[in-house]
Amino acid sequence: MDAEIEERTSRRHVGRNLQKIRVYLGMKQEALATDLGVSQQEISKIEKQDEIDEGLLVE
Element (H, E) at 45: helix 40-47
Q: Among 31, 30, 29, which Cα is nearest to 15's?
A: 29
- The pTM for the full model equals 0.71
pLDDT digits (tens, 9 = 90+) for 43-52: 999 999 888 8
Q: 26: which DSSP letter?
A: T
Overall number of domains in the chain: 1
Domain containing residue 29: CATH number: 1.10.260.40
Cβ 52 vs Cβ 15: under 8 Å: yes
Q: What is the pLDDT of residue 10?
A: 44
Among 25, 9, 16, CA closest to 52: 16
pLDDT, residue 11, reads 59
Parent domain of 7: 2-58
Amino acid residing at 7: E
Per residue in 2-59, pLDDT (tens digit) is 556 545 544 578 899 889 999 999 999 999 999 989 999 999 999 998 888 888 777 7
